[in-house]
A and B are shown apart, each in its own frame.
Chain A
Amino acid sequence: AQKITQTQPGMFVQEKEAVTLDCTYDTSDQSYGLFWYKQPSSGEMIFLIYQGSYDEQNATEGRYSLNFQKARKSANLVISASQLGDSAMYFCAMRDDKIIFGKGTRLHILP
């Protein structure tokens, strides 16, 4: 069965520092996709980045990169040069059929 684990309920990071949000997953499928979403206090779910299980390169989108370690079944999100507007809930998700989400990490960026 699919499972997504985010072990950091909350994080505090100084503005302009890099931050890594942890995500591990479990699946028996060989073909799957990994996602990260941001949910600010407004409630909208904003797609950030996607990594396919067969992609050899780590996905990057601007300040976001996904550190994909297939053997360890981890898909950590790295945000470089954090900004105050990065404060939000962050969800890791996986799809091999349906998409399931982790419990999220609340990130607080400190000025």
Chain B
Amino acid sequence: GAGVSQTPSNKVTEKGKYVELRCDPISGHTALYWYRQSLGQGPEFLIYFQGTGAADDSGLPNDRFFAVRPEGSVSTLKIQRTERGDSAVYLCASSLQPNTEAFFGQGTRLTVV
């Protein structure tokens, strides 16, 4: 596709369950970013991939959060034992190279009930 694609667009899960959020970046973009955005706040950095490797995962809040990008394109953000505080919009962005503009997907709205 032409833009960054995130699936699902909405996810409702029960507290304690495991969820996976998918991001399909723009073709050829080497850099991929995950953010979490709560209502009325700016995007909060979670993790940044350059190619297949996590260049910076300092934003992951705890060890329940994990992300992979095994082939350097699609990335999956995995959240174990979800908590109500994990409810937010999870945004993914990609850029052609590290020092170029990043383009965002539409986000996945995660609701933990």
> Interface on A for B, CB 8 Å cutoff?
31, 33, 35, 37, 43-45, 47, 50, 52, 91, 95, 97-104
Instruction: Please judge, given known A-B contacts A44-B106, A47-B101, A97-B56, whether A91 and B48 are in contact too, CB under 8 Å.
Output: no
Residue among B33, B42, B91, B102 making CB contact with A47, cutoff 8 Å: B102
Residues on the A chain within 8 Å of B45, using CB: 98-101
> Contacts A43-B107, A45-B43; is A99 near B93 (CB within 8 Å)?
yes
Q: Are A101's CB and B104's CB within 8 A? A: no
- Main SS of the interface on chain A? strand
State whether A103 touches B41 (Cβ < 8 A). Answer: yes
Contact flag A98-B33 (CB < 8 Å), given A43-B106, A44-B106, A47-B103: yes
**Interface size bracket, B side:** 20 to 34
- B positions within 8 Å CB-CB of A: 33, 35, 41-45, 48, 55-56, 58-59, 89, 91, 93, 98-104, 106-107
Q: Is the CB of B106 within 8 A of A97?
A: no
Nearest chain A residue, comparing its CB with the CB of B55: A97
The answer to whether A102 touches B42, judged by C-beta atoms less than 8 angstroms apart, is yes
Q: How many A-B residue pairs have CB under 8 A?
A: 54
Residues of A close to B106: CB separation below 8 A = 43-44
Beta-carbon contact of A101 and B42 below 8 Å: yes
What B residues does A37 contact at CB under 8 A?
Answer: 104
Q: Are B99 and A52 in contact (CB under 8 A)?
A: yes
A50 to B103, CA, bound (A): 12
- CB distance A45 to B33 under 8 Å? no
Would you call B102 and A98 a contact (CB within 8 A)?
Answer: no
- For residue B35, which residues in chain A have a CB less than 8 angstroms away from its CB? 101
Known: A45-B93, A47-B102, A47-B103. A98 touches B43 (CB 8 A): no
